[in-house]
Amino acid sequence: MSLNPPFRQPKVFKPPFHGQSISCDGKQYFIGVKLGCGSFGEVFECTDEWGNQLVAKVLVPRRGQTYTQVCEQWQQELQKLLVLRHPNITYIHAAFEYDDTFYLVIERCQATLDSIIHLPNVTHQPVEVILSGSGGKLPVFTIVSSAFLVSVSGSRPRDFNVR
């Protein structure tokens, strides 16, 4: 009688590829071209069986991260999106793990924040956002989520200043 535990294959991150079909909870998602990447991971065009224009955000593990750490990071990102759920914030279609890779499937925005800010024939006062310790570089998510917090609560984080 052996006391050795059964051998388990190690978890291996497998990024999606163009043309891949992924099933989750009875729904089909079709992966398109890679749109870009950021601190969370990579973003791919995605559609569902109804042809809805979506994006698939795929968490890319950082070197040395354990499976548990990657799973926690994915759950934190999902929680941020759920907390900020508002009619004017992108809708989450699905969040799942598929083939050792974590996905967030969200509604695709038709315009970037930059393109909205620079619409022709729109006059606006320039806004400078300063966040302590940011070194002057802010992700759009931080700016939008902070602005949303201010608009909903009427208060602002101590390190968020608009001039």
The pLDDT assigned to 66 comes to 87
The pLDDT assigned to 31 comes to 96
pLDDT digits (tens, 9 = 90+) for 47-69: 999 998 888 888 888 888 888 89
The neighbour count for residue 16, using CB atoms within 10 Å, is 22
Domain positions in the chain are: 21-107, 113-162
* Residue-level length of the chain: 163
The pLDDT assigned to 23 comes to 92
d(C-alpha 20, C-alpha 129), whole Å: 40
The neighbour count for residue 78, using CB atoms within 10 Å, is 16
d(C-alpha 61, C-alpha 73), whole Å: 9
pLDDT digits (tens, 9 = 90+) for 7-38: 777 888 888 999 999 999 999 999 999 988 87
- Place domain 21-107 in its CATH homologous superfamily: Phosphorylase Kinase; domain 1 (3.30.200.20)
Reported pTM: 0.62
pLDDT digits (tens, 9 = 90+) for 140-153: 445 555 555 555 44
CA 46 to chain centre: 13
